[in-house]
Structure 1
Amino acid sequence: MDIPFSTFHHMHEQIRAEMMKAFEKCYDNGWFIQGTEYKKFEKEFAQYCGASFGVGVGNGLDAISLSLQALGIGEGDEVIVPAHTFIATALAVKYAGAKPVLCDVCADTFTIDPFKIEPMITEKTKAIIAVQLYGQTADMTAISHIAKEHNLWVIEDAAQAHGATFHGKRTGTLGDVAAFSFYPGKNLGALGDGGAVVTNREEIAERIHELGCYGSKVKYVHDLAGINSRLDEIQASFLRIKLHHLEKWTEERQAIAKTYLQNIENSKLILPKIGSGREHVWHLFVIRCPKRDHLQAYLEEKGIHTQIHYPIPMHLQKSMQYLGYGKGSFPISEEIAESVLSLPLYIGMTEREIEYVCEIMNCY
């Protein structure tokens, strides 16, 4: 049996006719930037999250960076970021002109450790970015409490957690502003790059829209030094269709993860944990194994393809050396990087494929 790590085939076959119709509609309309589909998606995605305002942007990195800029964060400021996340989180802080200050994470949920945040706070700290990693949220109660005590903004990096909840509230409503990615592999993915910012603050939404459109509210009038970062009309039309199917697809992901959790029984492996009060949407099913590389090779031999998210701790990346961290700075994040392995999980995965993965994992 050959099981891919991920595939879009089954998902896209379900909606092929809808997607083709949407493309033809955009093609015939001849309006490809900030048209009616774009405006409808902004509204519908914000409503899905339970928020008041949404702004479509070019990608997830821009969504974070523009959020920071809209909050007035830039030169001389510091932003606390989890040490275990995709590098885009820290890059966005750098692009906004601020300095990312890394904080270690919880070993069980992989999300930022609230108990380690306060020692990182200085007079320069302006915000905390809570990365909702792999499909579940961080401890937003603790993070919000710390932020309130120190008068800090809370930004959600929810690129991997469309629809995840914390005590019944969806990502997009758990901080002051939330950044989403629609990279094709996300739970809600476009057929190219795309992103969005969601917030309940109208002034922030308006500023992000302005910043992402060359700093302009009125054509050829540029009050801000903005950039070009807009979700295009065709991608918005595709995302509107996929959004209608997202709940069904989330339930399918949760069912696959539940089967893994109930049937993988191997003392050599550490299965993922779901934090208190959280509904996981399983963007990734990430296990830990002390002999990760050996396990990955073993699974590859058995036809099970896996990936590592992420093999090099962010603070040890060459591009982050300017921050001054070294090996041993974030021991939990380093241990996670050396032991995590993401198993296959995708829409259309058959019961036999899921059972096969469990069988092979138990035989390791």
Structure 2
Amino acid sequence: MDEPVEFTDIYVDEAMVDRATEVLRSGRYVKGPMVERFEAAFAEFCGTDHAVGVASGTDAIYLALKAAGVEPGDDVFVPAHTFFATVSPVLELGANPVFVDHEPVTYTMDALDLGERLRAADQPAAVVPVHIYGHPADMGAIREVADAHDLAVIEDACQAHGATYEGEPVGSLGDAGAFSFYPSKNMTVAGDGGMITTDDPDLAREARMLRNHGRNGDGEHVRLGLNHRLSELHAALGHEQLGHVDDWNEHRRSAAERYTDRLTDVDAVTPPQTRSESEHVYHLYVIQVPDRADLRDALDDAGVQTDIHYRVPAHEHLAVERHLDESPRVPRTETLTDRILSLPMHPRITDTEIDRVCAAIERHYDR
């Protein structure tokens, strides 16, 4: 029997092992030169003036919102179709998440729906568009709405390292960007880690204080802050991975093109689409099908791993529901969550493996 088609694959080479060994032998594990070097390289990668390394993508969203001035009682607009960690920082800050439906084509935040929900908001303060699955949100339209209402724009770019919108990197399109380096992302730090990107020196300064117990440059605790620091070890590994991510993204795009070529003629399957002004980096390759459970069983029988991102709309998690006065109406999201299926996607997936996945899908619908 053929080897299973793995859903994802994490790349580690000898250079990364060497960097890890170097840090371990240095005895300097926090607040050192590796974090500073990684921050500088990542800021250049995103085309921003500043990058602030933190302990996770969730920390990046939380600290960016806090540094941007979001306070208890403020309204923060978030997609209904996203991972839980887009929403949980809003609630941790005591703010109110306002859920926005997605565009039917890209699954990213619908700027028209954002405008409608703003009209009913009491204290609009910020919006968190998510570049979901690696496809940039429509930042031009979202910025236009946000600027008209004086909203801070915090990009959730946790799935979109290297993606671009109108030629500009994500993470440089709002007041701040938030990235995750969780092991399954397009690049990792071989553990948890995150980054805030921004051109705003005040926001960057505030984020640096908040990640380090509220300390200023003189070591004084001038703010209430916790420990959200990125370690030297993770920064060293992230810096090595950053040198590969453009090539890996190109491999992801090639794999996505092969998937789409094979699946376009399968009537039951809706492949992902990309807007002309955007460059997708395919953190995930997500299709829609009418019989997800049956197809998943068929693919499992064929040795193909799959997953679902995300089966529960963000507002329907129990931890979120208890904070809401009423459940929002987001009909496109509620329909989508019953139809989506993520197929294997990573930079080392082969044409043969993609063809095996697609052949299994074709057999299922030809039965």
TM-score category, normalised to shorter length: over 0.9
Check conservation: 1:77, 1:126, Cα contact below 8 A: yes
Which letter does structure 2 place at the counterpart of 1:360? A
CA apart distance, 1:218 = 4.2
Alignment of 1:94-105 (within 5 A): 94-105=91-102
Which letter does structure 1 place at the counterpart of 2:361? M
Distance 1:40 1:135 in 2: 25
Structure 1 SS opposite 2:98: strand
Structure 1 runs (4+) greater than 6 angstroms displaced: none
Match of 1:111 among 91, 108, 113: 108
- 1:48 alignment counterpart: 45
Match of 1:58 among 42, 55, 59: 55
Which letter does structure 2 place at the counterpart of 1:93? V
What is the TM-score with the length of structure 1 in the denominator?
A: 0.96
Where does structure 2 lack aligned partners over 5 or more consecutive residues? none
Check conservation: 1:316, 1:325, Cα contact below 8 A: no
Structure 2 SS opposite 1:238: helix
Alignment of 1:302-341 (within 5 A): 302-321=302-321, 322-326=323-327, 329-341=329-341
Alignment of 1:259-278 (within 5 A): 259-264=258-263, 265-278=265-278
Check conservation: 1:137, 1:165, Cα contact below 8 A: yes
Where does structure 1 lack aligned partners over 5 or more consecutive residues? none
Match of 2:67 among 67, 70, 74: 70
Q: State the identity %.
A: 37
Distance 1:171 1:97 in 2: 27
Distance 2:276 2:111 in 1: 14
Structure 2 SS opposite 1:69: helix
- 2:233 alignment counterpart: 234
Check conservation: 1:5, 1:305, Cα contact below 8 A: yes
Check conservation: 2:298, 2:360, Cα contact below 8 A: no
Which letter does structure 1 place at the counterpart of 2:199? N
Structure 2 residue 200 is matched with structure 1 residue 198: no
Structure 2 SS opposite 1:221: coil
Structure 2 SS opposite 1:143: helix
Distance 2:209 2:203 in 1: 10
Check conservation: 2:101, 2:333, Cα contact below 8 A: yes
Alignment size in residue pairs: 358
Distance 2:335 2:105 in 1: 12
Check conservation: 1:134, 1:284, Cα contact below 8 A: yes
Structure 1 SS opposite 2:307: coil
Alignment of 1:162-311 (within 5 A): 162-218=161-217, 221-264=220-263, 265-311=265-311
Which letter does structure 2 place at the counterpart of 1:64? I
- 1:28 alignment counterpart: 25
CA apart distance, 1:262 = 1.0
Distance 2:163 2:350 in 1: 24
Structure 2 SS opposite 1:56: strand
Which letter does structure 2 place at the counterpart of 1:116? D
Match of 1:7 among 9, 12, 24: 9
- 2:151 alignment counterpart: 152
Which letter does structure 2 place at the counterpart of 1:195? G
Structure 2 SS opposite 1:79: strand
Bigger CA drift: 331-340 or 216-225?
216-225
CA apart distance, 1:219 = 6.0
RMSD of Structure 2 on Structure 1 (CA): 1.2
CA apart distance, 1:336 = 1.1
Distance 1:280 1:347 in 2: 14
